[in-house]
Amino acid sequence: MNTLAGKVAIVTGASSGIGHAAARLFASAGAKVVVSARRQHELDALVEAIAGVGGTAVAIAGDVCDERLSQRLVATALERFGGLDIAFNNAGIIGPMGPLQDMKSSDWHDIMHTNLNGAFLGAKHQIPALLQRGGGSLLFTSSFVGHTAGMPGMAAYGASKAGILGLTKCLAAELGPSGIRVNALLPGGTDTPASITNAPDAGPEVLAFVENLHALKRMATPEEIARAALYLASEDASFVTGTAMLVDGGVSISRT
């Protein structure tokens, strides 16, 4: 179903996981997609896969901490596809985990810079292009961590993701009169390469623990989270803005 037919989208963090699944889903729904992440090879493979099923995508590698990348992504959307309708600022890192008092200041700044500053830099350059179209959908990936739950050892991550919620709410109020909807997606545990369950030292007990935190007693696939992003990006969510949309398998309410 071509729910995004004629639309142009930017997706960051697209080399794997949620961003990769969202880019493919957006393209299959009819959007022309500008994809970005730090790994060029994986992005090239994604563009090839999208083209292989009749979609259209272009890849630009870079770091979301670099403002020049945000500028280039928007410029590419405008020059190659004529505008911008959807921006999914998904790139992020978990960073080193552990007690706050043992954390290096440099690690704190890296997490905040990637997760929160990266969202700011993306939005800063995406908003003018969305305004040129008379509206659109601006999405951020946040987390239940720092919103409905605190997780030991994840203070920096939780703080950065909570900051995204504040950014989302203020931008939704600011941009609503111009027809731009702004929403945050809050996934639960998702089976991606960045998940703590896929860390080199994570045994089966880590996976079992994380799965059991959820009411559904399992983790999400990236495609499940991507379908929620597609909803928020599409006109199906035409009256949805300023939300912290939990797609978390019940981890926020589970006590069993």
Structure tokens at 166: 């504040």
What 3-state DSSP class applies to 97?
Answer: coil
CA dihedral 207, 218, 18, 105 (to 10 degrees): -40
Among 139, 157, 183, 232, the one annotated catalytic: 157
H/E element, 165: helix 155-175
The CA distance from 34 to 55, in Å, is: 12
Residue 19 near residue 12 (C-beta atoms within 8 A):
yes
Structure tokens at 151: 């997780």
The CA distance from 70 to 117, in Å, is: 11
- What is the Cα 223 distance to its own chain's centre? 13
Helices (H) and strands (E) in the chain, counts: 8, 7
Check if 157 is active-site.
yes
Handedness of CA 153, 65, 81, 172 (dihedral sign): positive
In terms of Cα–Cα distance, which of 106, 140, 94, 146 is closest to 120? 140
Tell me the CB-side half-sphere exposure of residue 127, using CA atoms within 13 A: 15
- Amino acid identity, residue 150? G
- What is the Cα 217 distance to its own chain's centre? 23
Task: Give the catalytic positions in this structure.
Answer: 157
